[in-house]
Structure 1
Amino acid sequence: MTVTNTPQPTGITLHNASRVLDISFDDGASFSLPYEYLRVYSPSAEVQGHGKGQETLQLGKRLVGLSGLEPVGNYAVQPTFSDGHNSGLYTWSYLYKLGAEQATLWQDYLDRLSAAGYPGDSGRDAKADMTIKQSSGHVHGPGCGHQH
């Protein structure tokens, strides 16, 4: 029998309308993890690379959905995202880390977006913004003053 110090999940709930995965653990911790956050921090080699400094910055994932979530043994889940990505195995310890370090990791992602020339809304593609501006002359969004 393997003894582990990793808290084990006691519940996982998917909220597809708000695109959030709620997970609770047997140590009393619970986290709400947005699908975008899960997608940009996928533990897959496609996202993480094969070593430090080989990570691939994920762009345009703000509206990503989750079309499936399969259990992998008694230690992980494998989500299928609406953009087709499904190669990440999210172990219980990795999900716990994502929850416990969410504020720091999310800010790091936003900082990397900004450094790469994609400041502003997370996952927003600057080329898409330029296309919208060129075609309509105005980007509609929160605070723009128009009725939506």
Structure 2
Amino acid sequence: MPPVIGRAIRSIQKTTTAVAVYPGLTRFSLKAPKNVEVHFENGGFYNLSAEYLRIYSPAADSKMRSVGGEKVIYGRRHVGIMSAEPVGNYGVRLLFDDLHKTGIFTWDYLYHLGSNKFTMMRDYIRTLRKHGLSRDPPRMRRK
């Protein structure tokens, strides 16, 4: 059964598999606005936060800051996911409430993000600290 086709999705169940490096996706569920859940054939289950998905979006982004030659996205602790759109049989495009929508998350990439979540998040927080940046959005200045 192919993924559900539609403008926005909440859940995809996939029973066919393609030859891939990673296990095939069996279920994708959007738990808007704060996370997605992904299930894989090998029993892998990952709950991925909107912040984590936003900072590791596979697309180039104009809201990224280059610090010391590193590309760093910061201030996204409270970002949310507004919708998810299937892209073929291989991935999903997420629309975040900061209006970022150009990244396509393939099932393989979601598996990579899930299986490496703790290491990648730890490295991200270290990078922010190294450059004096925060996961929190910048505060508005009062006049």
- TM-score bucket (shorter structure): 0.7 to 0.9
**Regions of 4+ moved over 4 Å:** none
Measured in 2, the distance between the counterparts of 1:58 and 1:71 equals: 25
Q: Unmatched 5+ residue regions in structure 1? A: 136-148
> What residue in structure 2 maps to residue 15 of structure 1?
31
2:139 partner amino acid:
A
Question: Which structure has the highest helix share of the two?
Answer: 1
TM-score, normalised with respect to structure 1: 0.73
Identity among equivalent positions (%) equals 36
> What residue in structure 2 maps to residue 100 of structure 1?
115
Q: Which has the higher contact order (CA 8 A, sep 6+)?
A: 2
Deviations 1:26-75 (A, max 9, x none): 1110100000000000011227x9xxx96521111111111111111111
TM-score, normalised with respect to structure 2: 0.75
Measured in 2, the distance between the counterparts of 1:62 and 1:110 equals: 11
How many residues are matched? 122
Q: Unmatched 5+ residue regions in structure 2? A: 1-17
Question: Which structure has the highest strand share of the two?
Answer: 2
Structure of higher CA gyration radius: 1
> What residue in structure 2 maps to residue 81 of structure 1?
96
Measured in 2, the distance between the counterparts of 1:3 and 1:15 equals: 28
> What residue in structure 1 maps to residue 41 of structure 2?
26
